[in-house]
Structure 1
Amino acid sequence: MASGPGGPLLFDDLPPAGSGESGSLAVSISQTIKNEGKGAKRKTSEEENGNEELVEKKVCKASSVIFGLKGYVAERKGEREEMQDAHVILNDITDECRPPSSLITRVSYFAVFDGHGGIRASKFAAQNLHQNLIRKFPKGDVISVEKTVKRCLLDTFKHTDEEFLKQASSQKPAWKDGSTATCVLAVDNILYIANLGDSRAILCRYNEESQRHAALSLSKEHNPTQYEERMRIQKAGGNVRDGRVLGVLEVSRSIGDGQYKRCGVTSVPDIRRCQLTPNDRFILLACDGLFKVFTPEEAVNFILSCLEDEKIQTREGKPAIDARYEAACNRLANKAVQRGSADNVTVMVVRIGQ
């Protein structure tokens, strides 16, 4: 589904629960193409039977248990003068989205934004992206929830970026802020992950074969040194020097960064889809301030050790599990600073419960 040279891989299916995945952090494009091929064959047969809508409903209702999701966050300014990260935790926005009730039971949204050149782009994205998403969320009967949600996400990112750039260019002098965006939209037990830039989303999934927890990457980093990203930038008349767009900008996709949009920097996100399973423990969303000093596996194992720490004190009236997740976020953010991450650090952990 890549849209031409350097185009985004818009709908990348992550491996299913029983695929025996280890801690590998890349989903191969060949696997994606296989999945898409299977999907195409399936769709044809469904259309022949005239049962496409019925099949969609059956798939959505296949698991009667909708996993509960709850977000926790910690942030540290680090050595930076100001905090340019922003985040959003919306454990349940079903009522606001008003989805077609026959198909969708619960909608949640979690996001991390890492600003650069100022705080305005990340703050704007945190305030507006989910509002635009709610407005554009599918209403009434839809034949394919997945296609409609994907289109909704693409439109939402485009609209949010355009709104910010319009506001930024009207200032004197014009704002030059930009921001990454990593958003997880949960529709029942399906995660849709849309991201720009180098903030990341990681899923902790227990692998029954190896009896170990794996760190599965849910997002795709965008930096100008990657072949497809560099080709798009060069095609637009820009260049990559010292691993940066025009020798300055570290990411090749972002919200804002108006002065680089004519050089091939885009706000079109990669969108991936992941079916939650009973083996899934939590989702980690974090900016590159964490991943400069932690590998995804290290971060996941650090969180797991905190969750198993029975010494963590809980305040009266607060469930012990909440105290442990809060402590995991705070300890991981602190450890990133101790390890020398000079950047802002935002750590969000989304608990997956049954």
Structure 2
Amino acid sequence: MGIYLSTPKTEKSSEDGENDNLRYGLSSMQGWRATMEDAHAAYPDLDASTSFFGVYDGHGGKVVAKFCAKYLHQQVLKTEAYAAGDIGTSVQKAFFRMDEMMRGQRGWRELSVLGDKINKFTGMIEGLIWSPKSSDSSDQVDDWAFEEGPHSDFAGPTSGCTSCVAIIRNNQLVVANAGDSRCVISRKGQAYNLSRDHKPDLEIEKERILKAGGFIHAGRVNGSLNLARAIGDMEFKQNKFLPAEKQIVTANPDINTVELCEDDEFMVLACDGIWDCMSSQQLVDFVHEQLRLETKLSAVCERVLDRCLAPSTANGEGCDNMTMILVQFNKTTQSSAPTYEQSTSQKAVETEPKPAETDPKPEGSGC
């Protein structure tokens, strides 16, 4: 059977919700893959003025994606930056915090609760197959208490996940991304990418990988991982002389900030199982078509998943796990003279925004 099933699992897990500022629908489907490694989070009321949506695409196991879905939004709320109104810094710290929390006995125990494939002879869980050689107990002090135990020097899982998160507060949209899941906004029917796919061959990623002592072979980091940024994957983060943002693989997200306006209709968060099959503009066009026929947003997501599902595993595209979140904005709450800002973890210089293309770039638009 390999990594694919003989027939796809097309049952979907779907959900809808809303508040005064937006409504959302989401759906996820295992498809042809032998296991479901995607996870997601949708909290329209993270606090009184903030909504949170996240898509986490696991690789090498599901546990890191499930861990992020359970804890990442909680860590955003805990930072001093969040209390001060700096959402970008708070979400960046939360991405790094996931790696910190998954270390040690407490991290191992939490991951084992989330995993469901335990080898009775070795006690190892899916994705937790690497035995660290040295202890690193640099947990910061908060309510995540350090625990003594047989896995106290566990340095984290070899599995990992992408993370694409969108946080909406009033008219401000903050998108944080590490990996190749993607956030796209529809503005007057035009698709604009609010995240960049972090592939190893991108010049800025290649430079960091090589400086940290890694290499790229066949488009993969050290010949194995086809992502340059991810949460987890701790075997690529073991250079003791480099900070977390300069490791071979880093959880450091690009962060884009957008001021929403009347022309913004909806945004989509989705894993690469969707983007392998449709460009950003193709998906926006398809969603527009479906919204003329369907008011339930989760049903629109389900139709996208069905559209992307391959008839067979012959070509690979359309055979991945698929997760999509569709968020429709309430235009009465949006300002009439918005602006667009872009800030990334790499301090990129702003350029004139352009519509999304087949090969996405970290772009947005002013109205």
Matched, 1:349 2:331: no
Query: Equivalent residue for 1:289?
Result: 273
Q: Render the CA deviation track for 1:149-168: whole Å, top value 9, x for unaligned.
A: 22212211111121124425
Q: What does 1:204-243 align with in structure 2 at a 5 Å threshold?
A: 204-206=186-188, 213-243=189-219
**How far is 1:134 from its partner?**
1.4
Q: What does 1:74-113 align with in structure 2 at a 5 Å threshold?
A: 74-95=27-48, 106-113=49-56
**How far is 1:260 from its partner?**
1.3
Unmatched runs of 5 consecutive residues or more in structure 1: 1-65, 96-105, 207-212, 313-320
Looking at secondary structure, tell me which structure has more strand per residue.
2
Kindly provide the amino acid, as one letter, of the partner of residue 290 in structure 1. I
Query: Equivalent residue for 2:260?
Result: 276
Query: Equivalent residue for 2:248?
Result: 264
Q: Take 1:286 and 1:122, find their aligned partners in 2: how far apart are those partners?
A: 14
Q: Take 1:258 and 1:349, find their aligned partners in 2: how far apart are those partners?
A: 31
Matched, 1:152 2:90: yes
Instruction: Report the secondary structure of 1:152's partner residue.
Output: helix
Kindly provide the amino acid, as one letter, of the partner of residue 301 in structure 2. C
Kindly provide the amino acid, as one letter, of the partner of residue 249 in structure 1. L
Q: Is the 8 A contact 1:168 1:176 kept in 2?
A: no
Q: Sort the Cα spacing of 1:302 and 1:137 in 2 relative to 1 into closer, same or farther, 3 A.
A: farther
Q: Take 2:252 and 2:324, find their aligned partners in 1: how far apart are those partners?
A: 24
Return the match for 2:221 from 245, 257, 263. Answer: 245
Q: Take 1:177 and 1:72, find their aligned partners in 2: how far apart are those partners?
A: 28
Query: Equivalent residue for 1:197?
Result: 179
Kindly provide the amino acid, as one letter, of the partner of residue 238 in structure 1. G
**How far is 1:338 from its partner?**
3.6
Kindly provide the amino acid, as one letter, of the partner of residue 237 in structure 1. G
Q: Sort the Cα spacing of 1:260 and 1:168 in 2 relative to 1 into closer, same or farther, 3 A.
A: farther
Unmatched runs of 5 consecutive residues or more in structure 2: 1-18, 112-122, 131-156, 239-246, 312-316, 333-367
Q: Render the CA deviation track for 1:12-32: whole Å, top value 9, x for unaligned.
A: xxxxxxxxxxxxxxxxxxxxx
Which consecutive aligned stretches of 4+ in structure 1 deviate over 6 angstroms post-superposition? none
Q: Take 1:75 and 1:149, find their aligned partners in 2: how far apart are those partners?
A: 27
Q: Sort the Cα spacing of 1:225 and 1:168 in 2 relative to 1 into closer, same or farther, 3 A.
A: farther
Query: Equivalent residue for 1:124?
Result: 67
Between the aligned residues of both structures, percent identity stands at 32
Q: Take 1:295 and 1:224, find their aligned partners in 2: how far apart are those partners?
A: 20
Q: Is the 8 A contact 1:76 1:334 kept in 2?
A: no
Query: Equivalent residue for 2:307?
Result: 335
* Normalised TM-score (structure 2): 0.66
Relative contact order higher in (CA < 8 Å, ≥ 6 apart): 1
Q: Render the CA deviation track for 1:63-110: whole Å, top value 9, x for unaligned.
A: xxx971222111111111111000011111224xxxxxxxxxx10000
Query: Equivalent residue for 1:210?
Result: none
Q: Is the 8 A contact 2:310 2:319 kept in 1?
A: no
How many corresponding residue pairs?
256
Q: Is the 8 A contact 1:285 1:349 kept in 2?
A: yes
Q: Render the CA deviation track for 1:221-255: whole Å, top value 9, x for unaligned.
A: 11101011011000000000000001100101100
CA RMSD, aligned part only?
Answer: 2.0
Q: Sort the Cα spacing of 1:245 and 1:139 in 2 relative to 1 into closer, same or farther, 3 A.
A: closer
Q: Sort the Cα spacing of 1:76 and 1:241 in 2 relative to 1 into closer, same or farther, 3 A.
A: same
Instruction: Report the secondary structure of 1:78's partner residue.
Output: strand
Looking at secondary structure, tell me which structure has more helix per residue.
1
Matched, 1:302 2:286: yes
Q: Which moved more, 1:82-91 or 1:131-140?
A: 131-140
Q: Take 2:102 and 2:32, find their aligned partners in 1: how far apart are those partners?
A: 27
Q: Take 2:103 and 2:58, find their aligned partners in 1: how far apart are those partners?
A: 14
Kindly provide the amino acid, as one letter, of the partner of residue 199 in structure 1. S
